[in-house]
Structure 1
């Protein structure tokens, strides 16, 4: 009997730790977001969005599928200019590679790179020669982001090997002659 009495405070404490049941009509927290969108930042362009199906003007589907190792079935582009962002999709409809190109001021180019792969926390990137930035895991894949002067190229890939995103970035930079 003494053991039961000694356990009574502990049992009372555990009873207070039960999972609460939502009360009908009360607000519930929203489920966590599964998107990788960035919050709007003053002075930075928003994350690009695919607007329409079209060929990427600076990268072919074949170039991307060779670099990323997955077949490309659909290419979509954003409506930003002068260089639209390109979105490459695999056969199951999933996004495999995104390429964002920015040409403008050095300050914005640097901030875009730091938003994708912050200098303080990412691995340093300096390829192609003269370009600086970083690469790091992003979602289930990787982000490779570099800038030079007022130009920035940000590539995300669903593959975890950074060399794949880096190869796409180098091909885009060469094609655009940035």
Structure 2
């Protein structure tokens, strides 16, 4: 009887279902893309330095971008050489997009975010600054700032979404 059950289509279907990692297991087994690293010193293709300086309240002395394509992460530096703001864009799998947002702004410790309309995620302030992270379908946008006001990160996320037409 056990042999017959093992050959039944319901068991085959049942074993195939877990193959794509869920948002929770993707984060747990390291299925997420690695955190972006600053690379080349060049302008951010979707955010201007003046906009970031105005939004974050600090002069931007340098911008570096990651090697991620087609949407590199952008790292904005302040005059003392430290990163003041980072924006990460992910477009791919919906479960991965949600998992990246949950990693940046964990559901159990962040405030719910739903701006712009149709996007969902979270925001929180820490001793080091603030994060605003949202996903919609297969896209995620995450901004971290050295400022404690999450509204600054939210402003940057909304501009990024608008500029990339996500």
Question: What is the TM-score when the length of structure 1 is the normalising length?
Answer: 0.76
Q: Are 2:76 and 2:84, in contact at CA under 8 Å, matched by a contact in 1?
A: yes
Alignment of structure 1 residues 1-178 onto 2, 5 Å? 41-178=29-166
> Which whole-Å CA distance do the structure 2 matches of 1:160 and 1:108 have between them?
27
Number of aligned positions between the proteins: 140
Q: How far 1:137 moved relative to its partner? A: 2.2
> Which whole-Å CA distance do the structure 2 matches of 1:67 and 1:40 have between them?
34
> Which whole-Å CA distance do the structure 2 matches of 1:40 and 1:61 have between them?
35
Aligned-residue RMSD, C-alpha: 1.4
Report the structure number with the largest CA radius of gyration: 1
> Which whole-Å CA distance do the structure 1 matches of 2:80 and 2:31 have between them?
36
Question: What is the TM-score when the length of structure 2 is the normalising length?
Answer: 0.81
Task: Identify unmatched segments of 5+ residues in structure 2.
Answer: 1-26
> Which whole-Å CA distance do the structure 2 matches of 1:157 and 1:138 have between them?
10
